[in-house]
A and B are shown apart, each in its own frame.
Chain A
Amino acid sequence: MSLAKSLCRKRNRKLFDKIGMKKYSAFALVKEAFNNHLGWKRAWRSAKPKKKYKIVIVGAGGHGLATAYYLGKNFGIRDVAVVEKGWLGGGNTGRNTTIIRSNYLQEESTAIYEKSRSLYETLSQDLNYNIMFSPRGVMMLCQTEHELRAMKRTYYANRLFGVQTEIVSPARMKEMIPIININGPRYPILGGLWQPRGGTARHDAVAWGYARAISSWGVDIIEDCEVTGILKKSSKVVSIETAKGSIACEKLCFVVAGSSSILAELAGFRIPVESVALQALVSEPIKPVMDCVVMANTVHGYMSQSDKGEMVIGGGADGYNNYTQRGSFQHIEETVRALIETFPIISRLRQLRQWGGIVDMTGDRSPIISKTPVENIFLNCGWGTGGFKAIPGSGWATAELLANGDPGRLAAPFSLNRFIEGRMIDESVAAAVAH
Protein backbone atom coordinates (compact mmCIF):
# COMPACT_ATOMS: atom_id res chain seq x y z
CA MET A 1 0.00 0.00 0.00
CA SER A 2 1.37 3.43 -0.90
CA LEU A 3 2.16 5.89 1.84
CA ALA A 4 -0.48 8.38 0.67
CA LYS A 5 -3.13 5.69 0.68
CA SER A 6 -2.22 4.49 4.14
CA LEU A 7 -2.19 8.04 5.50
CA CYS A 8 -5.57 8.66 3.94
CA ARG A 9 -6.94 5.49 5.50
CA LYS A 10 -5.53 6.48 8.88
CA ARG A 11 -7.20 9.88 8.61
CA ASN A 12 -10.49 8.29 7.68
CA ARG A 13 -10.30 5.99 10.63
CA LYS A 14 -9.61 8.92 12.91
CA LEU A 15 -12.62 10.72 11.50
CA PHE A 16 -14.74 7.65 12.07
CA ASP A 17 -13.42 7.23 15.56
CA LYS A 18 -14.26 10.79 16.42
CA ILE A 19 -17.98 10.52 15.78
CA GLY A 20 -20.10 12.03 18.45
CA MET A 21 -23.47 10.49 19.13
CA LYS A 22 -26.25 12.12 17.18
CA LYS A 23 -29.62 12.23 18.87
CA TYR A 24 -32.30 10.33 16.97
CA SER A 25 -35.59 12.22 16.72
CA ALA A 26 -38.40 13.06 14.31
CA PHE A 27 -36.64 16.36 13.71
CA ALA A 28 -33.35 14.63 12.86
CA LEU A 29 -35.22 12.38 10.45
CA VAL A 30 -36.80 15.34 8.62
CA LYS A 31 -33.47 17.15 8.52
CA GLU A 32 -31.74 14.09 7.08
CA ALA A 33 -34.52 13.61 4.54
CA PHE A 34 -33.50 16.96 3.00
CA ASN A 35 -29.89 15.79 3.02
CA ASN A 36 -30.52 12.50 1.17
CA HIS A 37 -29.76 10.73 4.45
CA LEU A 38 -26.05 11.26 3.97
CA GLY A 39 -25.45 12.71 7.42
CA TRP A 40 -26.18 9.64 9.56
CA LYS A 41 -23.18 8.60 11.58
CA ARG A 42 -22.08 5.13 12.56
CA ALA A 43 -23.91 4.12 15.71
CA TRP A 44 -20.74 2.97 17.48
CA ARG A 45 -17.00 3.24 16.96
CA SER A 46 -14.89 0.27 15.99
CA ALA A 47 -12.18 0.47 18.60
CA LYS A 48 -8.64 -0.80 18.91
CA PRO A 49 -7.78 -2.20 22.31
CA LYS A 50 -5.88 0.06 24.71
CA LYS A 51 -3.14 -1.38 26.93
CA LYS A 52 -5.23 -1.36 30.10
CA TYR A 53 -8.79 -1.01 31.30
CA LYS A 54 -10.37 -0.92 34.71
CA ILE A 55 -12.93 -3.54 33.67
CA VAL A 56 -12.88 -5.88 30.70
CA ILE A 57 -16.14 -7.60 29.78
CA VAL A 58 -15.85 -10.64 27.54
CA GLY A 59 -18.85 -11.00 25.24
CA ALA A 60 -20.59 -8.22 23.30
CA GLY A 61 -24.05 -9.70 23.40
CA GLY A 62 -27.03 -8.14 25.11
CA HIS A 63 -25.93 -9.08 28.63
CA GLY A 64 -22.32 -7.89 28.22
CA LEU A 65 -23.30 -4.60 26.61
CA ALA A 66 -26.03 -4.00 29.21
CA THR A 67 -23.47 -4.64 31.95
CA ALA A 68 -21.18 -2.01 30.44
CA TYR A 69 -24.12 0.38 30.09
CA TYR A 70 -25.25 0.15 33.72
CA LEU A 71 -21.62 0.34 34.91
CA GLY A 72 -21.45 3.71 33.18
CA LYS A 73 -24.93 4.87 34.03
CA ASN A 74 -25.30 3.74 37.65
CA PHE A 75 -21.68 3.81 38.80
CA GLY A 76 -19.90 6.23 36.46
CA ILE A 77 -17.33 3.57 35.50
CA ARG A 78 -16.49 4.11 31.85
CA ASP A 79 -12.91 2.84 31.60
CA VAL A 80 -14.34 -0.37 30.21
CA ALA A 81 -13.74 -2.60 27.19
CA VAL A 82 -16.15 -5.13 25.76
CA VAL A 83 -14.28 -7.75 23.74
CA GLU A 84 -16.11 -10.09 21.40
CA LYS A 85 -15.00 -13.22 19.55
CA GLY A 86 -17.36 -12.72 16.61
CA TRP A 87 -19.48 -9.71 15.88
CA LEU A 88 -21.67 -7.61 18.15
CA GLY A 89 -24.92 -9.36 19.06
CA GLY A 90 -24.10 -12.34 16.82
CA GLY A 91 -24.57 -15.02 19.46
CA ASN A 92 -27.78 -15.78 21.28
CA THR A 93 -28.81 -12.10 21.23
CA GLY A 94 -29.33 -12.49 17.50
CA ARG A 95 -30.78 -15.99 17.68
CA ASN A 96 -33.64 -15.91 20.18
CA THR A 97 -37.40 -15.57 19.81
CA THR A 98 -37.44 -12.16 21.56
CA ILE A 99 -39.97 -13.06 24.26
CA ILE A 100 -40.10 -10.85 27.36
CA ARG A 101 -41.99 -12.01 30.46
CA SER A 102 -41.49 -12.25 34.20
CA ASN A 103 -44.10 -14.77 35.39
CA TYR A 104 -41.66 -17.00 37.25
CA LEU A 105 -42.46 -19.03 40.32
CA GLN A 106 -39.57 -18.34 42.68
CA GLU A 107 -39.20 -15.00 44.43
CA GLU A 108 -35.55 -14.56 43.41
CA SER A 109 -36.33 -15.12 39.73
CA THR A 110 -39.37 -12.89 39.80
CA ALA A 111 -37.29 -10.07 41.27
CA ILE A 112 -34.67 -10.03 38.54
CA TYR A 113 -36.96 -10.82 35.60
CA GLU A 114 -39.54 -8.25 36.69
CA LYS A 115 -36.79 -5.65 37.11
CA SER A 116 -35.72 -6.53 33.61
CA ARG A 117 -39.20 -6.29 32.15
CA SER A 118 -39.80 -2.93 33.78
CA LEU A 119 -36.47 -1.62 32.43
CA TYR A 120 -37.53 -2.78 28.94
CA GLU A 121 -40.61 -0.55 29.18
CA THR A 122 -38.55 2.63 29.08
CA LEU A 123 -35.42 1.32 27.36
CA SER A 124 -36.11 3.01 24.02
CA GLN A 125 -36.31 6.40 25.75
CA ASP A 126 -33.30 5.69 27.98
CA LEU A 127 -31.11 4.71 25.05
CA ASN A 128 -32.62 7.11 22.49
CA TYR A 129 -32.81 4.02 20.29
CA ASN A 130 -36.03 2.33 19.25
CA ILE A 131 -35.86 -1.22 20.56
CA MET A 132 -39.46 -1.76 19.45
CA PHE A 133 -40.63 -3.08 22.80
CA SER A 134 -44.11 -4.38 22.22
CA PRO A 135 -45.99 -5.29 25.42
CA ARG A 136 -48.47 -7.40 23.51
CA GLY A 137 -48.97 -9.94 26.27
CA VAL A 138 -47.69 -13.47 26.81
CA MET A 139 -50.06 -16.42 27.05
CA MET A 140 -48.86 -19.68 28.54
CA LEU A 141 -51.13 -22.55 27.58
CA CYS A 142 -52.19 -25.22 30.03
CA GLN A 143 -52.73 -28.43 28.10
CA THR A 144 -52.78 -30.94 30.92
CA GLU A 145 -54.46 -30.95 34.34
CA HIS A 146 -51.04 -30.83 36.00
CA GLU A 147 -49.97 -27.87 33.99
CA LEU A 148 -53.14 -25.99 34.92
CA ARG A 149 -52.46 -26.69 38.59
CA ALA A 150 -48.83 -25.58 38.25
CA MET A 151 -49.87 -22.40 36.45
CA LYS A 152 -52.39 -21.56 39.15
CA ARG A 153 -49.61 -21.91 41.67
CA THR A 154 -47.43 -19.59 39.58
CA TYR A 155 -50.32 -17.14 39.35
CA TYR A 156 -50.66 -17.00 43.15
CA ALA A 157 -46.89 -16.61 43.52
CA ASN A 158 -46.91 -13.81 40.95
CA ARG A 159 -49.67 -12.01 42.86
CA LEU A 160 -47.65 -12.24 46.06
CA PHE A 161 -44.59 -10.72 44.40
CA GLY A 162 -46.49 -8.00 42.57
CA VAL A 163 -46.27 -9.40 39.04
CA GLN A 164 -49.49 -8.88 37.19
CA THR A 165 -50.79 -12.16 35.71
CA GLU A 166 -54.15 -13.85 35.44
CA ILE A 167 -55.65 -17.24 34.70
CA VAL A 168 -57.66 -17.27 31.49
CA SER A 169 -60.47 -19.70 30.65
CA PRO A 170 -60.47 -21.61 27.34
CA ALA A 171 -63.46 -19.62 26.08
CA ARG A 172 -61.76 -16.29 26.72
CA MET A 173 -58.58 -17.62 25.18
CA LYS A 174 -60.46 -18.45 21.98
CA GLU A 175 -61.69 -14.84 21.88
CA MET A 176 -58.19 -13.48 22.39
CA ILE A 177 -56.47 -15.90 20.01
CA PRO A 178 -59.02 -16.89 17.34
CA ILE A 179 -56.61 -19.16 15.46
CA ILE A 180 -56.17 -21.46 18.45
CA ASN A 181 -57.81 -24.89 18.50
CA ILE A 182 -59.00 -25.39 22.05
CA ASN A 183 -60.55 -28.85 21.47
CA GLY A 184 -57.45 -30.58 20.16
CA PRO A 185 -57.75 -34.31 20.74
CA ARG A 186 -54.23 -34.75 22.06
CA TYR A 187 -53.56 -31.32 23.53
CA PRO A 188 -56.84 -29.67 24.60
CA ILE A 189 -56.58 -26.17 26.05
CA LEU A 190 -57.67 -26.20 29.69
CA GLY A 191 -56.71 -22.64 30.46
CA GLY A 192 -53.81 -20.25 30.32
CA LEU A 193 -51.59 -17.97 32.34
CA TRP A 194 -51.73 -14.49 30.85
CA GLN A 195 -49.16 -11.80 31.50
CA PRO A 196 -50.55 -8.71 29.79
CA ARG A 197 -47.38 -6.65 30.21
CA GLY A 198 -45.05 -9.23 28.70
CA GLY A 199 -44.29 -9.13 25.01
CA THR A 200 -41.46 -8.90 22.52
CA ALA A 201 -38.74 -6.47 21.44
CA ARG A 202 -36.42 -6.14 18.47
CA HIS A 203 -33.52 -8.28 19.65
CA ASP A 204 -30.75 -6.77 17.51
CA ALA A 205 -31.84 -3.25 18.41
CA VAL A 206 -31.37 -4.02 22.10
CA ALA A 207 -27.69 -4.85 21.47
CA TRP A 208 -27.25 -1.96 19.03
CA GLY A 209 -28.89 0.57 21.35
CA TYR A 210 -26.68 -0.38 24.29
CA ALA A 211 -23.60 -0.43 22.04
CA ARG A 212 -24.35 3.07 20.74
CA ALA A 213 -24.84 4.47 24.23
CA ILE A 214 -21.67 3.01 25.75
CA SER A 215 -19.56 3.79 22.69
CA SER A 216 -20.51 7.46 23.01
CA TRP A 217 -19.10 7.42 26.56
CA GLY A 218 -15.77 6.10 25.32
CA VAL A 219 -16.29 2.45 26.20
CA ASP A 220 -14.38 0.38 23.62
CA ILE A 221 -16.25 -2.39 21.83
CA ILE A 222 -13.65 -4.65 20.23
CA GLU A 223 -15.09 -7.17 17.82
CA ASP A 224 -13.29 -10.06 16.15
CA CYS A 225 -11.15 -10.36 19.27
CA GLU A 226 -11.20 -13.87 20.74
CA VAL A 227 -9.79 -14.39 24.22
CA THR A 228 -7.04 -17.01 23.94
CA GLY A 229 -5.44 -16.89 27.35
CA ILE A 230 -5.78 -15.53 30.86
CA LEU A 231 -2.69 -14.42 32.74
CA LYS A 232 -2.85 -14.77 36.53
CA LYS A 233 -0.49 -13.60 39.22
CA SER A 234 -1.01 -14.84 42.80
CA SER A 235 -4.59 -15.99 42.13
CA LYS A 236 -5.60 -12.69 40.50
CA VAL A 237 -6.03 -11.93 36.83
CA VAL A 238 -3.62 -9.32 35.51
CA SER A 239 -4.32 -9.46 31.80
CA ILE A 240 -5.97 -11.40 29.03
CA GLU A 241 -4.43 -12.59 25.79
CA THR A 242 -6.60 -11.91 22.78
CA ALA A 243 -6.46 -12.14 19.02
CA LYS A 244 -5.64 -8.41 19.10
CA GLY A 245 -2.91 -8.53 21.70
CA SER A 246 -2.67 -8.47 25.45
CA ILE A 247 -5.09 -6.34 27.49
CA ALA A 248 -4.49 -5.63 31.16
CA CYS A 249 -7.45 -5.26 33.48
CA GLU A 250 -8.32 -4.79 37.14
CA LYS A 251 -11.53 -6.78 36.90
CA LEU A 252 -12.67 -9.30 34.33
CA CYS A 253 -16.22 -10.42 33.64
CA PHE A 254 -17.28 -13.37 31.49
CA VAL A 255 -20.65 -12.85 29.81
CA VAL A 256 -20.42 -15.44 27.05
CA ALA A 257 -23.43 -17.75 27.53
CA GLY A 258 -22.70 -21.05 25.78
CA SER A 259 -18.94 -20.53 25.78
CA SER A 260 -18.68 -19.91 29.54
CA SER A 261 -17.10 -23.31 30.27
CA ILE A 262 -14.31 -22.66 27.76
CA LEU A 263 -13.35 -19.35 29.37
CA ALA A 264 -13.67 -20.80 32.88
CA GLU A 265 -11.29 -23.59 31.81
CA LEU A 266 -8.79 -20.93 30.63
CA ALA A 267 -9.11 -19.19 33.98
CA GLY A 268 -8.56 -22.47 35.82
CA PHE A 269 -11.91 -23.36 37.31
CA ARG A 270 -15.00 -25.34 36.35
CA ILE A 271 -18.62 -24.26 36.42
CA PRO A 272 -21.91 -26.14 36.74
CA VAL A 273 -22.95 -25.48 33.16
CA GLU A 274 -23.58 -27.58 30.09
CA SER A 275 -23.87 -26.15 26.59
CA VAL A 276 -26.66 -27.41 24.35
CA ALA A 277 -28.29 -26.27 21.14
CA LEU A 278 -31.64 -24.51 21.11
CA GLN A 279 -33.40 -23.92 17.82
CA ALA A 280 -35.91 -21.51 16.36
CA LEU A 281 -37.50 -21.04 12.98
CA VAL A 282 -39.49 -18.43 11.14
CA SER A 283 -42.18 -18.79 8.51
CA GLU A 284 -43.01 -16.80 5.40
CA PRO A 285 -44.84 -13.56 6.28
CA ILE A 286 -48.63 -13.64 6.44
CA LYS A 287 -51.32 -11.13 7.40
CA PRO A 288 -51.75 -10.42 11.12
CA VAL A 289 -53.37 -13.45 12.79
CA MET A 290 -52.11 -13.38 16.36
CA ASP A 291 -51.38 -10.30 18.44
CA CYS A 292 -49.72 -11.90 21.46
CA VAL A 293 -47.02 -14.42 22.32
CA VAL A 294 -48.18 -17.99 22.93
CA MET A 295 -46.11 -20.53 24.81
CA ALA A 296 -47.20 -24.15 24.71
CA ASN A 297 -44.95 -25.76 27.24
CA THR A 298 -46.38 -29.26 27.24
CA VAL A 299 -45.39 -29.64 23.60
CA HIS A 300 -42.23 -27.50 23.81
CA GLY A 301 -43.25 -24.84 21.36
CA TYR A 302 -43.79 -21.13 21.42
CA MET A 303 -44.96 -18.77 18.74
CA SER A 304 -45.46 -15.11 18.05
CA GLN A 305 -45.96 -13.03 14.93
CA SER A 306 -43.27 -10.56 14.02
CA ASP A 307 -44.02 -7.07 12.78
CA LYS A 308 -43.15 -8.29 9.29
CA GLY A 309 -45.84 -10.97 9.61
CA GLU A 310 -43.58 -13.98 10.00
CA MET A 311 -44.58 -16.59 12.55
CA VAL A 312 -41.59 -16.89 14.88
CA ILE A 313 -41.42 -20.38 16.39
CA GLY A 314 -39.15 -21.65 19.11
CA GLY A 315 -38.70 -25.23 20.19
CA GLY A 316 -37.11 -27.32 22.90
CA ALA A 317 -33.40 -27.65 23.52
CA ASP A 318 -31.38 -30.70 22.53
CA GLY A 319 -30.35 -32.97 25.36
CA TYR A 320 -26.65 -33.39 24.61
CA ASN A 321 -23.55 -31.17 24.74
CA ASN A 322 -23.07 -29.27 21.55
CA TYR A 323 -21.19 -26.19 20.34
CA THR A 324 -22.22 -26.22 16.66
CA GLN A 325 -25.00 -23.60 16.70
CA ARG A 326 -27.32 -26.00 14.91
CA GLY A 327 -29.61 -28.54 16.45
CA SER A 328 -31.23 -31.85 15.64
CA PHE A 329 -33.89 -31.93 12.99
CA GLN A 330 -36.25 -34.08 15.02
CA HIS A 331 -36.66 -31.30 17.58
CA ILE A 332 -37.95 -28.92 14.94
CA GLU A 333 -40.20 -31.70 13.68
CA GLU A 334 -41.61 -32.38 17.17
CA THR A 335 -42.24 -28.70 17.84
CA VAL A 336 -43.97 -28.06 14.54
CA ARG A 337 -45.97 -31.29 14.68
CA ALA A 338 -47.40 -30.34 18.07
CA LEU A 339 -47.98 -26.68 17.24
CA ILE A 340 -49.96 -27.62 14.14
CA GLU A 341 -52.50 -29.40 16.33
CA THR A 342 -52.95 -26.28 18.44
CA PHE A 343 -52.80 -23.89 15.46
CA PRO A 344 -54.17 -25.77 12.42
CA ILE A 345 -53.88 -22.57 10.35
CA ILE A 346 -50.10 -22.82 10.21
CA SER A 347 -50.02 -26.31 8.69
CA ARG A 348 -49.44 -25.02 5.15
CA LEU A 349 -46.97 -22.29 6.06
CA ARG A 350 -43.55 -22.56 4.48
CA GLN A 351 -40.64 -22.04 6.80
CA LEU A 352 -38.11 -19.47 5.65
CA ARG A 353 -35.24 -19.90 8.04
CA GLN A 354 -34.11 -22.15 10.86
CA TRP A 355 -31.19 -21.54 13.19
CA GLY A 356 -29.65 -22.63 16.46
CA GLY A 357 -27.85 -21.05 19.35
CA ILE A 358 -25.76 -22.55 22.13
CA VAL A 359 -27.41 -22.08 25.50
CA ASP A 360 -25.76 -22.59 28.87
CA MET A 361 -27.86 -24.80 31.11
CA THR A 362 -27.35 -24.97 34.87
CA GLY A 363 -28.57 -27.69 37.19
CA ASP A 364 -31.53 -25.70 38.52
CA ARG A 365 -32.19 -23.80 35.26
CA SER A 366 -31.49 -20.50 36.96
CA PRO A 367 -28.68 -18.13 35.97
CA ILE A 368 -25.34 -17.47 37.63
CA ILE A 369 -24.32 -13.90 38.48
CA SER A 370 -21.43 -14.46 40.77
CA LYS A 371 -17.93 -14.08 42.04
CA THR A 372 -15.67 -16.97 41.05
CA PRO A 373 -12.75 -18.89 42.61
CA VAL A 374 -10.47 -16.27 41.00
CA GLU A 375 -10.67 -13.09 43.04
CA ASN A 376 -11.19 -10.51 40.31
CA ILE A 377 -13.08 -12.61 37.78
CA PHE A 378 -16.85 -12.33 37.75
CA LEU A 379 -19.32 -14.51 35.93
CA ASN A 380 -22.67 -13.94 34.28
CA CYS A 381 -24.02 -17.05 32.59
CA GLY A 382 -26.52 -19.89 32.84
CA TRP A 383 -29.48 -18.03 31.37
CA GLY A 384 -30.25 -21.19 29.43
CA THR A 385 -33.21 -20.92 27.14
CA GLY A 386 -34.46 -17.57 28.43
CA GLY A 387 -31.72 -14.97 28.40
CA PHE A 388 -33.15 -12.30 26.13
CA LYS A 389 -35.90 -11.24 28.50
CA ALA A 390 -33.32 -10.77 31.24
CA ILE A 391 -30.87 -8.51 29.42
CA PRO A 392 -31.51 -5.17 31.20
CA GLY A 393 -31.98 -6.70 34.66
CA SER A 394 -28.97 -8.95 34.25
CA GLY A 395 -26.82 -6.02 33.13
CA TRP A 396 -28.08 -3.98 36.08
CA ALA A 397 -27.27 -6.71 38.62
CA THR A 398 -23.90 -7.61 37.06
CA ALA A 399 -22.83 -3.95 36.96
CA GLU A 400 -23.61 -3.73 40.67
CA LEU A 401 -21.53 -6.86 41.32
CA LEU A 402 -18.60 -5.57 39.26
CA ALA A 403 -18.61 -2.07 40.69
CA ASN A 404 -18.89 -3.06 44.36
CA GLY A 405 -17.10 -6.39 44.21
CA ASP A 406 -20.10 -7.85 46.04
CA PRO A 407 -23.51 -8.76 44.68
CA GLY A 408 -26.50 -6.55 45.37
CA ARG A 409 -30.01 -7.67 46.24
CA LEU A 410 -30.83 -8.88 42.70
CA ALA A 411 -27.67 -10.89 42.07
CA ALA A 412 -27.02 -12.32 45.55
CA PRO A 413 -29.29 -15.40 45.26
CA PHE A 414 -27.66 -16.37 41.94
CA SER A 415 -24.16 -17.04 43.26
CA LEU A 416 -22.12 -20.11 42.36
CA ASN A 417 -22.17 -21.09 46.05
CA ARG A 418 -25.82 -21.99 45.87
CA PHE A 419 -24.92 -25.30 44.24
CA ILE A 420 -22.63 -26.24 47.11
CA GLU A 421 -25.06 -25.02 49.74
CA GLY A 422 -28.02 -26.75 48.09
CA ARG A 423 -29.82 -23.41 47.89
CA MET A 424 -31.33 -24.06 44.44
CA ILE A 425 -33.61 -21.63 42.66
CA ASP A 426 -35.57 -24.35 41.02
CA GLU A 427 -37.12 -23.12 37.82
CA SER A 428 -36.71 -26.30 35.81
CA VAL A 429 -40.27 -27.30 36.51
CA ALA A 430 -41.48 -24.12 38.15
CA ALA A 431 -41.14 -21.82 35.16
CA ALA A 432 -43.00 -24.43 33.13
CA VAL A 433 -41.13 -23.48 30.01
CA ALA A 434 -39.61 -25.74 27.44
CA HIS A 435 -36.25 -26.72 28.88
Chain B
Amino acid sequence: MLRFICPICNLPADETELTPGGEAHIQRKGPGSSDSEFYEYLFERKNPLGIHFERWLHSYGCGKWFHAARCTKTMEVFGTYKAQEVKPPRHIIDNIKKKRPNWKNE
Protein backbone atom coordinates (compact mmCIF):
# COMPACT_ATOMS: atom_id res chain seq x y z
CA MET B 1 0.00 0.00 0.00
CA LEU B 2 1.20 3.49 -0.84
CA ARG B 3 1.98 5.78 2.06
CA PHE B 4 2.62 9.51 1.89
CA ILE B 5 3.36 12.14 4.53
CA CYS B 6 0.66 14.76 4.09
CA PRO B 7 2.50 18.10 3.90
CA ILE B 8 -0.47 19.90 5.48
CA CYS B 9 -1.02 17.76 8.57
CA ASN B 10 2.51 16.26 8.62
CA LEU B 11 1.06 12.85 9.34
CA PRO B 12 1.53 9.61 7.43
CA ALA B 13 -1.47 8.91 5.20
CA ASP B 14 -2.28 5.50 3.72
CA GLU B 15 -3.55 5.12 0.19
CA THR B 16 -7.01 4.31 1.57
CA GLU B 17 -7.23 7.78 3.13
CA LEU B 18 -6.39 9.46 -0.14
CA THR B 19 -7.94 10.10 -3.52
CA PRO B 20 -5.60 10.20 -6.51
CA GLY B 21 -5.83 13.29 -8.70
CA GLY B 22 -3.55 12.54 -11.64
CA GLU B 23 -0.62 14.46 -13.07
CA ALA B 24 0.45 17.62 -11.25
CA HIS B 25 1.58 21.02 -12.59
CA ILE B 26 -0.76 21.05 -15.57
CA GLN B 27 -1.49 24.68 -16.34
CA ARG B 28 -4.84 25.76 -17.60
CA LYS B 29 -4.56 27.72 -20.83
CA GLY B 30 -6.01 31.20 -20.86
CA PRO B 31 -8.68 32.77 -23.06
CA GLY B 32 -7.81 32.85 -26.73
CA SER B 33 -5.84 29.62 -26.61
CA SER B 34 -6.22 27.17 -29.47
CA ASP B 35 -8.10 23.89 -29.54
CA SER B 36 -4.89 21.89 -29.46
CA GLU B 37 -3.64 23.81 -26.42
CA PHE B 38 -6.86 22.99 -24.64
CA TYR B 39 -6.49 19.38 -25.73
CA GLU B 40 -3.05 19.29 -24.13
CA TYR B 41 -4.43 20.76 -20.93
CA LEU B 42 -7.44 18.45 -20.77
CA PHE B 43 -6.19 15.12 -22.08
CA GLU B 44 -2.52 14.85 -22.99
CA ARG B 45 -0.47 13.28 -20.20
CA LYS B 46 3.19 12.42 -19.68
CA ASN B 47 2.28 9.05 -18.15
CA PRO B 48 5.96 8.30 -17.52
CA LEU B 49 7.55 5.00 -16.64
CA GLY B 50 9.54 6.38 -13.74
CA ILE B 51 9.23 9.59 -11.72
CA HIS B 52 5.74 11.03 -11.74
CA PHE B 53 4.66 14.28 -10.12
CA GLU B 54 1.07 13.89 -9.10
CA ARG B 55 -1.81 15.29 -7.07
CA TRP B 56 -3.46 13.60 -4.14
CA LEU B 57 -6.43 14.62 -2.00
CA HIS B 58 -6.24 13.80 1.68
CA SER B 59 -9.97 12.98 1.68
CA TYR B 60 -10.17 11.16 5.02
CA GLY B 61 -7.73 13.54 6.70
CA CYS B 62 -7.37 17.28 6.38
CA GLY B 63 -9.33 17.36 3.11
CA LYS B 64 -6.59 19.29 1.33
CA TRP B 65 -4.86 18.64 -1.99
CA PHE B 66 -1.12 18.11 -2.05
CA HIS B 67 1.59 17.08 -4.53
CA ALA B 68 3.81 14.03 -4.46
CA ALA B 69 6.77 12.64 -6.41
CA ARG B 70 6.51 8.91 -6.93
CA CYS B 71 8.08 6.30 -9.19
CA THR B 72 5.47 4.46 -11.27
CA LYS B 73 7.85 1.53 -11.77
CA THR B 74 8.85 0.83 -8.17
CA MET B 75 6.15 2.78 -6.22
CA GLU B 76 8.92 4.56 -4.29
CA VAL B 77 7.78 7.92 -2.91
CA PHE B 78 10.36 10.72 -3.07
CA GLY B 79 8.48 13.23 -0.99
CA THR B 80 5.39 15.42 -0.86
CA TYR B 81 4.88 19.16 -1.13
CA LYS B 82 2.09 21.68 -1.05
CA ALA B 83 -0.40 22.07 -3.88
CA GLN B 84 0.47 25.78 -4.15
CA GLU B 85 3.90 24.96 -5.61
CA VAL B 86 3.85 25.45 -9.38
CA LYS B 87 6.84 23.18 -9.90
CA PRO B 88 8.60 20.52 -7.82
CA PRO B 89 10.67 22.24 -5.09
CA ARG B 90 14.45 21.97 -4.82
CA HIS B 91 14.56 19.43 -1.98
CA ILE B 92 12.32 17.00 -3.86
CA ILE B 93 14.45 17.25 -7.01
CA ASP B 94 17.61 16.76 -4.93
CA ASN B 95 16.12 13.75 -3.23
CA ILE B 96 15.24 12.17 -6.58
CA LYS B 97 18.66 12.93 -8.08
CA LYS B 98 20.40 11.43 -5.07
CA LYS B 99 18.60 8.13 -5.63
CA ARG B 100 18.34 8.26 -9.43
CA PRO B 101 21.48 10.00 -10.75
CA ASN B 102 20.45 9.44 -14.39
CA TRP B 103 17.00 10.96 -14.04
CA LYS B 104 16.29 14.06 -16.11
CA ASN B 105 13.67 16.58 -15.12
CA GLU B 106 11.72 17.62 -18.21
Contacts and interface: CB of A to CB of B under 8 A. Distances in A.
A420 B41 CA distance: 11
A229 to B, nearest CB: 15
A175 interface: no
Interface in A268-317: 270-275
Nearest to A319: B20
B81 to A, nearest CB: 17
A12 interface: no
Contacts of A272: 39, 43-45
A320 B57 CA distance: 12
Interface string B44-56: 1111110010100
A262 B23 CA distance: 16
A146 B43 CA distance: 28
Nearest to A270: B44
A419 interface: yes
A63 B33 CA distance: 37
B62 interface: no
A362 B39 CA distance: 12
B39 A419 contact: yes
A419 B46 CA distance: 16
Contacts of B42: 363, 419
A183 to B, nearest CB: 30
Contact of A261 (B40, B45, B75): B45
A270 B45 contact: yes
Given A261-B48, A270-B46, A273-B47, A330 B16 contact: yes
A122 B44 CA distance: 38
Interface string B5-22: 000000000011001101
A356 to B, nearest CB: 12
A274 B16 contact: no
Given A274-B22, A330-B15, A330-B16, A420 B35 contact: yes
B43 A363 contact: yes
Contacts of B47: 261, 271, 273-275, 321
Interface residues of A, number: 26
Contacts of B46: 261, 270
B45 A320 contact: no
Contacts of B74: 324
A322 interface: yes
Contacts of B72: 275, 321-324
B49 to A, nearest CB: 5
Interface core residue of B35, B49, B74 (most chain A CB under 10 Å): B49
A259 B48 CA distance: 9
Interface core residue of B16, B35, B72, B74 (most chain A CB under 10 Å): B72
Nearest to A318: B20
25 contacts: A261-B48, A261-B49, A265-B48, A272-B45, A274-B22, A274-B45, A275-B47, A275-B72, A318-B20, A319-B19, A319-B20, A320-B22, A320-B54, A321-B22, A321-B54, A321-B72, A323-B49, A328-B1, A328-B15, A363-B42, A363-B43, A419-B43, A420-B39, A421-B35, A422-B35
Interface of B: 1-2, 15-16, 19-20, 22-23, 35-36, 39-40, 42-49, 52, 54, 72-75
- A-B interface, 5 closest residue pairs, ranked by CB to CB distance from nearest: A272-B43, A261-B47, A320-B20, A319-B20, A420-B39
Given A262-B49, A270-B45, 20 more contacts: A261-B45, A261-B48, A270-B44, A271-B44, A272-B44, A273-B45, A274-B23, A275-B72, A319-B19, A320-B54, A322-B72, A323-B73, A324-B72, A324-B74, A324-B75, A328-B2, A363-B42, A419-B39, A419-B43, A421-B35
